[in-house]
Amino acid sequence: MTAETIAAYIRDKAGHEPVKIGLVLGSGLGHLAEEVEGVSIPYTDLGGFPHAGVSGHNPKLVIGNLEGVRVAVFGGRAHYYEKGDPAAMRCPLEVLKALGAEQLILTNAAGSLRADIPPGDLMLLSDHIAFTGLNPLIGETTDARFVAMGDAHDADLRARLKAAAEAVGEPLAEGVYAWFSGPSFETPAEIRAAKVLGADAVGMSTVPEIILSRFLGLRVAAISTITNMGAGLSDEALSHEHTKIMAPRGAAKLERILREMLRNL
Ligand code: HPA
């Protein structure tokens, strides 16, 4: 199915009003999808959307209103490590664009490399490093593939998120996110290497979606909820269980910031 066909199916169910902004919810951050007044469609009904293995229980797309703004909330994402496809989120993002959105906020769980950004805190991405060396546009044949990434993390959206964080009194750090393929966590040596290269946090998602967003002409910004210190930086044992337990601690803060940002959009 093409993105336009899927978008037409969604419009049929959820109405024709254009979507203003998309939100992709990361591990342990799915609660916001329940708060949207609107129509919920399981990914399994949307051919071309990632199905098996996608993070988030019963992943679904919710179209509706949040703080008076028409949103599309993606309650689950596909990761490169699931099937080895860095473009796994291309179809959902193409559909978002076809529904009229021009903006996107990505969220994720990440490990921190900075003692002053401890677990439970949030970090707005100022930039990123594709440590994997992978790119979701490999295989794309048009010249549109040569996407400029100098301003990939949208200045206006970041300013709005920072202003919203300040308005609700939630600290919001800023830093560089390094994308590792996963699914194994990093080694302590990899964490030290990432730090030397200028990373402030590490994770297994988001960067391919930022590249795809810029390719599609969506303005994009991303926020990490810090669930742990990077490998070797603390005594805690890393596990997905730990990520899922810790992510909701940042999720409430993240929700307050996102709601405030939407109120002022
Ligand atoms: N590394 C990679 N991905 C992660 C981490 C981490 O330490 N924590 C949460 N997601």
Give me the CATH number covering residue 170: 3.40.50.1580
Q: What is the mean pLDDT of the chain?
A: 95
- Choose the catalytic residue: 3, 98, 101, 109: 109
Decide if 205 is catalytic: yes
Between 152 and 59, the more confident residue is 152
Note down the domain range covering 194.
3-263
In this prediction, residue 127 carries a pLDDT of 98
3-state secondary structure of 21: strand
Decide if 16 is catalytic: no
Q: How far apart are CA 33 and CA 49, in angstroms?
A: 17
Q: How far apart are CA 39 and CA 105, in angstroms?
A: 20
pLDDT of 60 over the 90 cut:
yes
In this prediction, residue 91 carries a pLDDT of 97
In this prediction, residue 259 carries a pLDDT of 97
User: Are 209 and 106 a contacting pair, CB within 8 Å?
Assistant: yes
In this prediction, residue 103 carries a pLDDT of 98
CA 143 to chain centroid, in Å, comes to 26
238 CA closest ligand 1 atom index: 7
In this structure, of 119-128, 143-152, 222-231, 247-256, the range with the lowest mean pLDDT score is 247-256
pLDDT in tens, 67-99: 999 999 999 899 999 999 999 999 999 999 999
Beta bridge partners of 178: 129, 202
Q: Which of 185, 225, 245 to mutate to test the pocket of ligand 1 (most atoms within 8 A of CB)?
A: 185
In this structure, of 51-65, 101-115, 190-204, the range with the lowest mean pLDDT score is 51-65
pLDDT of 246 over the 90 cut:
no
CB of 186 shorter than 6 A to ligand 1: yes
Q: Which of 125, 180, 192, 202 to mutate to test the pocket of ligand 1 (most atoms within 8 A of CB)?
A: 202
Q: Cα(183) to centroid of ligand 1, in Å? A: 9
231 CA closest ligand 1 atom index: 7
- Choose the catalytic residue: 72, 79, 128, 221: 79
pLDDT of 57 over the 80 cut:
no
How many distinct structural domains can be found in the chain?
Answer: 1
pLDDT in tens, 121-137: 999 999 999 999 999 99
In this prediction, residue 52 carries a pLDDT of 66
